[in-house]
Structure 1
């Protein structure tokens, strides 16, 4: 019997994040897909299978918050964890208010990510 792991999609324009985060997610028991832009994620077949989304806040083109709003507009209710290198104390409360599960500041710990994923994937 094939064991399926929940798919976590990562959208980040930083190549080092797209290379390292999927490995960590696999160690934590998830499947992972990584995308360099919001547009690339929206055009992918991962959209319908994604159980949790890890979004960078600041990206060229469509930003993480803009993607989050677009997904909600489309009726896609994907739990979202934002990650950001921006040290702006106003960012986290605003994103949580808009429906994000968590907003982690880079660099974040494996434990902080695991905790955010556990929250994101809690059954309602």
Structure 2
């Protein structure tokens, strides 16, 4: 996997966000971390993002609404969804909408790494 890519992580669960940031940084990537979709959108500088990792269920704008918003803005970077409430209907819905991966929490570091490797190779 190419190093020095920029991965944005959006998750309202601080422990999950911190662990995910740590894992992605250990792979040699730059990370931008956000506690909500609103924070991510407010930041406004997502043109350099190579991949987005976002929780599905968050207060306010959830991960699926964030994804739809990004698609409407013409953003085409890969999006990895993660959720503590995995279900087949949600997986099918986000994958049909163009998501790159859908991971149920807890997921292994290896699962996320494999997903990121594929996403960043295609980027």
Aligned partner of residue 33 in structure 1, secondary structure: strand
Deviation at 1:46, TM superposition (A): 4.2
Deviations 1:71-107 (A, max 9, x none): 0001111210000000322111111111000000001
Which structure 1 residue ranges, 5 or more long, are not aligned? none
Mapped pair 1:64 → 2:88: no
Q: What TM-score do you get using the length of structure 1 for normalisation?
A: 0.91
Residue 98 of structure 1 is matched in structure 2 by: 97
Contact map agreement 1:8 1:32 (CA 8 A) in 2: yes
* 2:92 counterpart SS class: helix
User: How many Å apart are 1:110 and its aligned residue?
Assistant: 1.1
After TM superposition, the runs of 4+ consecutive aligned structure 1 residues lying more than 3 A away are none
Per the TM alignment, residue 122 of structure 1 is displaced from its structure 2 partner at its CA by 2.0
- Taking only aligned residues, the RMSD between alpha carbons, in angstroms, comes to 1.4
TM-score (norm 2): 0.92
Unaligned 5+ residue runs, structure 2? none
Query: Which one has the bigger helix percentage?
Result: 2
Q: Deviations over 1:25-78 (max 9, x none)?
A: 111221111101111101115412210000100011111010000000011112
What SS does the corresponding residue of 1:58 show, helix, strand or coil? coil
- The alpha-carbon distance between structure 1 residues 102 and 11, as it changes in their structure 2 partners (threshold 3 A), is same
Q: Which has the higher contact order (CA 8 A, sep 6+)?
A: 2
